[in-house]
Structures are given as C-alpha cells and as structure tokens.
Structure 1
Amino acid sequence: MERPAWVGPDIDLSRPSPARVYDVHLGGAHNFQVDREAARRIAEVMPDLPRILRANRAFLRRAVRFLVDQGVTQFLDLGSGIPTAGNVHEVAWSADPGCRIVYVDVDPVAVAHSRALLDGVDHATAVHADLRRPEEVLNHPETRRTLDFTRPVGVLMFAVLHFVPDEDDPAGIIRRYLDATVPGSYFALSHASLDGEAERAEEATEQFRSRVTDFSMRTRTEVGELLAGVELVEPGLVYLTEWRPEPGDEDPDPKRTSTFAAVGRKTG
C-alpha cells in the first residue's frame, strides 16, 4: 500500500479505525481500503448507517450554532475524528470568527489531518490524546494555550461515547471534564442506542466490534444517566433529527437513526 505523504511511519494502515470508517460513510477521501471494506460490511447489515452519520453531522452543526448563539466561543471537541466538511471550526467561525477550538482524538491519522488543515491558524489546534484520560487532555499545553477555563467552554462528544465501555466509567469521564469548566459551560453529545432499529443495530454493533473496535450501544435511559451533571435545553434527550431540526434535517421516522442527541448547560 502506498503511504500518503501526510501519514507518518507509526500509523498502521493495515487496521481500520473508527475515524476513517466514519469518513467513508460521510463520503470523505481520508480513508484506506481496509476502512472501506469495514464500512461496506457494516453497511450491509445496517444500510441506513451512512444516512445516520450524515444526520449526526447535521446535529453537530445545529448544536454548535446554538452554543455560539448562547455566547459560547470555546469548544473542546473530544473524539473529533477526521475534519471533514462542516466540522466544528467551520460552523463556529461562520457565526463568530473569534471562536477557539481544540480537537482531541486518539487516532493519529485524524490528528495528522487536523493539524494539516489547521496549520498556521491561531484559534484552533489538534491534540493527540485519549479522551478517557481527562487530566492528560485538560493539561495538554495546546489545550491550555487555546482555551481559557475561567470562561464557558462547550464540551462536545459527538458519536464517540459508544466507543467507551462501561468499565471505563463514561459518566465519570464526563464529570471530570465538566468539573474543569465554569457554570454557563455546555455539554453536547450524540450516542448510538439499542433503541429504535434494535435488531439491525445489534447486528451492526457486532460487525463493528469484530472489524474495528469495541462498541457499547446504550438505551435511552442509560444515555440519560450520562447527562446527570447538566440541565438539558429543549427538547431534551431525543433522536438526532428531533433536536431543533432545520429545513431539510427532518425525518418522518426519527427512531431509524438509533442515535440520541442532547445539549445541556452546567449550572453549578
């Protein structure tokens, strides 16, 4: 396999990665044959998956715009993936060019892409770190240089917590990030669920586990428990396309996304 110039020698191109498989389903170009094969097998058992991931990206767009409207100009995007079109910095800067963004991902390819895209940009950076180690992320020099934690921060976890198993204490991870922020900060997440199209979701989950990485689907109740530290804004915890849809984002059968979305405000 020919190694592109932007891919460092330490990156394993023989194994698929969640970020690159996601990129495949979004129609991106930042992936390899091994990722495309994994994406194809998963889509065979869940044909709606590309549409679901596009709905997730549309939710990201609406949520970031909402937060900027609330006066939030700083974003910590955890598990950011590969910066395909419509990512956080593009959405935020279209509303306020002064917004500051830290992208965090454990995938070195995703981080390499982000750094190349953000080269020479002062208000955004990419950090190679595991979101399951909040102190490492929060104390990283790039995080401290870019974000001011005496002011509100939007902590974002879009389509990533289902890669964090229960034994890693996802609720505790969220709590540690929120503890580092001031009141008036926000937390936004989307999370794949066993609710909705449960049978196909379970089959796709097994495909993902066997071909890419561990995957922890959760029920609506379980996802809600992860949001215990924030006050949810309307409409609360809902399916992706039900969260403040804009024209073109609606879905006559929202449960088909098998993914919940919510935005909450830290009040204390």
Structure 2
Amino acid sequence: MSGARSDNSVPPYVDPTKPSIARVYDAFLGGTDNYEVDREVVRRVRTVAPDAPDLAVENRRFLIRACRYLAEQAGVTQYLDCGSGLPTAENTHNVVQRANPGATVVYVDNDPLVVAHSRALLERTENAVIVSADIFRPEQLLSNAVVRSALDWDRPIALLQLGTLHHWNGEAVRTRRDIMRAYVDALPSGSYVAISHFLDPEDEHSAVARAMEEMFLHSMMGSGTFSTASRIGEMFNDLELVEPGLVRCVDWRPDSPPGRRPTTAQRCIAGGVARKR
C-alpha cells in the first residue's frame, strides 16, 4: 500500500480523520485512494485474519462473474449498482458493456470521493452515470430523477448490492430484509438481484469471522456484520435463486476449478443471484 494517498493532500470534501467504507475497501485491494485512517482499519482486521484482504478480492471477483452472467446469459441490459465504491480496473459498466455496448448502468454511492472519481471516469462513457444517494433509504433513491429517467422501469433491471448490506447498522429501525423488500417490490418482473455479504460460516471458521466483525464494528468505521447463510438468504425476499444458489463467493460459478483450499476469509463472504418472476 505504499502508493496510497498522502494525508497532506486531501480534497476539501473528504474527512481524513474518519474511515470511509469505500476507501477501506480500496485499501484492502491495495489501491491508492485511501488514507492512514483507512489503512489502520485494514491493519486491525488483519491482526485477527491475515488473509482478510480476500474479502475484498472475492467480492470483486463475484461482481465480475455475476455481471457477466447477467449480461451474457440472462440478457439484462439495465443495472442499478448500489454502493458502487471507488472505480477499479473492472467496473460494472466495463463488464456488461462488453456483452452489450448499449447496456445502461446507474451507479449509486454517497461517498464524495467515490462520486467525484466516478463522474470523472464516466464523463466520456455512454450509458453510465453516478447518483449521490443513500442506498439504505430505498424509497428516496428509487424516486431520484436520474434513477427514474436513466432506467426503463417497465423492463428488467439488475439490482446489485455487493458488499453493502453488512454495513447497515440500523437493524432496530429497519432490517436488511426490510430494505431489500422495498427494492424488490419496485423492480419489474424478470429483474434480478445480486447480493454479496460477510458470512459467518457456522463452522470452525466462525471464531475468525466474529473476530473480524469485532474489529470492524469497534474500529472508527463502525460497521461490518457477519451473518449466517440463513440470514443472508432472507434478504432475497423469496426470489428464485439462480444456480448454484447462495454460496461462498469463491464457489459461485468460478472461472476455473479451485487450485487450493479456500482461505479463511474466502470462506467468510457469500453471494448469490436471484430472479423476480
């Protein structure tokens, strides 16, 4: 992470004293758009799980494979990518527009650095925009003028919630399932939902999952909950899961047979794709 940003050159819209979910994720991936406060979260989590960066790596790989499936096999041409994070080499629009150059992608994030970087990246990109909004307030997001106009709500849409829902801490007010129900209810028939989420595997690796959760929750970031497969499954709100169902991200339609046993972190993030009839 030697190429990470200097804290001496901070944009006016960024608070370098508080970690950002997007920047912490970037730090896990070895990116450069992060600050010392973000790298400290990574260091803390790695004290209990040295392979913790695999959480971010597998989440990104799952995004690529899920989007490829949605574009190439399911034929989806519209995408609502919630909590899209900082741009990387393979973003949603890069993947789906290879299959269909006319595919439309609406990114959503409320991190100012994400929005600024994404707008710069998408300035000359056809059919891809970013909206600044809170993904945990679905009614407000779904009524956003750009979200309404950029997507055709009479045709199937793929809703992506990848590595996002485990950062919701308002369970006493509204559960993750409640949030997803609002999204699912708004989606047209034939739409798809993709979710990835930190997983408590309920086996000998559970202790590490809970230790990582403890580090995330008690860091300055204050979020990052590891849920069981049954709890994650509830977030699909009875949609029809696509094979192989809700599994570890590393096991969801892999590009090649596994070369080695999964690391502990790879066992602690799950994903799935489901269809709305």
After TM superposition, the score normalised by the length of structure 1 is: 0.92
Partner Cα separation in structure 1 for residue 217 and residue 258 of structure 2: 29
Please name the residue that 1:199 is paired with: 207
The 8 Å contact of residues 187 and 263 in structure 1, kept in 2 or not, is answered as yes
- For residues 1-268 of structure 1, the aligned pairs below 5 Å read 1-4=7-10, 7=11, 9-69=12-72, 70-165=74-169, 166-167=171-172, 168-195=174-201, 197-211=205-219, 212-247=221-256, 252-253=261-262, 256-257=265-266, 258-267=268-277
In the TM superposition, residue 256 of structure 1 has moved relative to its aligned partner by 4.5
CA distance in 2, matches of 1:216, 1:186: 24
Comparing 98-107 with 120-129, greater Cα deviation is found at 120-129
The question of whether the paired residues in 2 share the 8 Å contact of 1:241 and 1:254 is answered with: no
- Residue 192 of structure 1 aligns with an amino acid whose one-letter code is F
Counterpart CA distance in 1 for 2:273 and 2:135 is 19
Question: Aligned equivalents of 1:249 and 1:112: distance in 2?
Answer: 37
The residue type equivalent to 2:237 in the other structure is A
Question: Matched residues in 2 for 1:122 and 1:57: separation?
Answer: 23
Amino acid at match of 1:202: R
Structure 2, unaligned runs of 5 or more:
1-6
Is 2:45–2:216's contact at 8 Å kept on the other side of the alignment?
Answer: yes
Q: Does the 8 A contact of 2:107 with 2:131 survive in 1?
A: yes
Task: Indicate the SS of the match to 1:135.
Answer: helix
User: Residue 163 and residue 62 in structure 1: after superposition, are their counterparts in 2 closer, same or farther (change >3 A)?
Assistant: same
Aligned residues: 264
Contact 2:49-2:265 at 8 Å conserved across structures: no
CA distance in 1, matches of 2:236, 2:243: 14
1:141, 1:113 → 2: CA distance?
Answer: 21
2:69 counterpart letter in structure 1: F
Partner amino acid, structure 2, of 1:20:
R
Counterpart Cα distance in 1 of 2:257 and 2:51: 17
Q: Deviations over 1:52-83 (max 9, x none)?
A: 32111111111001001211011111111111
Cα deviation code 1:160-202 (max 9, x no counterpart): 1111132232111111111221111000011101225211121
Report if the CA contact (8 A) 1:239-1:255 is conserved.
no
- Counterpart CA distance in 2 for 1:249 and 1:116 is 37
Letter in 2 for 1:243: W
Distance 1:187 1:63, change over 3 A: same
In structure 2, give the amino acid aligned to 1:104: V
The letter of the residue matching 1:160 is T
- Aligned identity (percent) is 42
Q: For 2:40 and 2:102, locate their aligned partners in 1 and report how far apart those are by CA, in whole Å.
A: 40
Q: Which residue of 1 aligns with 2:4?
A: none
- Higher mean C-alpha displacement, 18-27 vs 220-229: 220-229
The letter of the residue matching 1:186 is Y
**Structure 2 length-normalised TM:** 0.90
Q: CA RMSD in A?
A: 1.7
